[in-house]
Amino acid sequence: MSATLEVAIFLSMNGKAKEAVDFYKKHFDAKELLLVTYEDMAKRDSSLQLTDENKHYITHSVLSIGKTKVMLAENPMDPKEKYTVGNNTSLCIQSADLEEIERFYKSLTTDDRVRIIVPLAKNVFSKAYGIIEDPFGIQIQLMYDDRLK
C-alpha cells in the first residue's frame, strides 16, 4: 500500500453543500481545503450545464476536521438515483499512486456483485476516477490525486 493512500467520507447534500460547509466550519472548526462551484467547473468542462440556479452550487469541496477529510458536493454518486438520506454518503479512496487505484478498481470489478456506476477513466480533475457500488450498497469513489504526494 502506498504512503499516499487515504479514505475520505463523501457527502452529497442535495443543494445544501455550501450551508453544510459553513455549518461544519462553525461547529467543528473545519478547515476549508478546497471549494469548487459549478461556475468554476464550467470553465474547465464545457459540457457542464450551468444555470442561474446551480452556478453557485458546489461540485466539490474538501474540509479537514482534525485529521479526517470530509468531501461535500451537491449530487449523489449515481445520477440515476433520486436523492434520499441514505444514498448521500460514499467513501472516496484516493492515492497519488495511479497503479494502486487501477489495481483496486480491477480487483473490485472482478466480483460479480459489484455494480459499476462510472467506469474508471480520465476526466477533467483526475487521470483516473471511477465509482462502484459494493455488494453491501456502499458507493465507493476511486481517484488518482497527485496532490497527495
CA dist., res. 133 & res. 20, Å (int): 25
CA dist., res. 82 & res. 100, Å (int): 32
pLDDT at residue 137 is higher than 80? yes
pLDDT at residue 45 is higher than 90? no
β-pairing, 68-73 vs 6-12, is: parallel
CA dist., res. 19 & res. 51, Å (int): 19
Q: Amino acid letter at 117?
A: I
What is the structure's pLDDT at 81? Answer: 80
Q: Could you tell me which residues come within 8 angstroms of residue 97 by beta carbon, excluding any fewer than 6 positions away?
A: 2, 4, 5, 144
Indicate the average pLDDT of the chain.
Answer: 90
What is the structure's pLDDT at 2? Answer: 86
More confident residue, 80 or 58: 58
Q: What is the pLDDT of residues 13-37, one digit of tens each?
A: 888 899 999 989 998 889 999 999 9
Q: What is the pLDDT of residues 70-108, one digit of tens each?
A: 999 988 777 788 877 767 888 999 999 999 999 999 999
Length of the chain: 149
Q: What is the phi/psi pair of residue 105, to 5°?
A: -60, -45
Q: Where are the beta strands (DSSP E) in 51-145?
A: 58-65, 68-73, 89-95, 115-121, 129-133, 139-144
Cell match 467547473: residue? 41
CA dist., res. 140 & res. 137, Å (int): 9
Work out the percent of the chain whose per-residue pLDDT is above 70: 99
- Looking at the whole model, is its pTM more than 0.85? no
**What confidence category does residue 127 fall into, taking pLDDT thresholds of 50, 70 and 90?**
very high
What is the structure's pLDDT at 5? Answer: 92
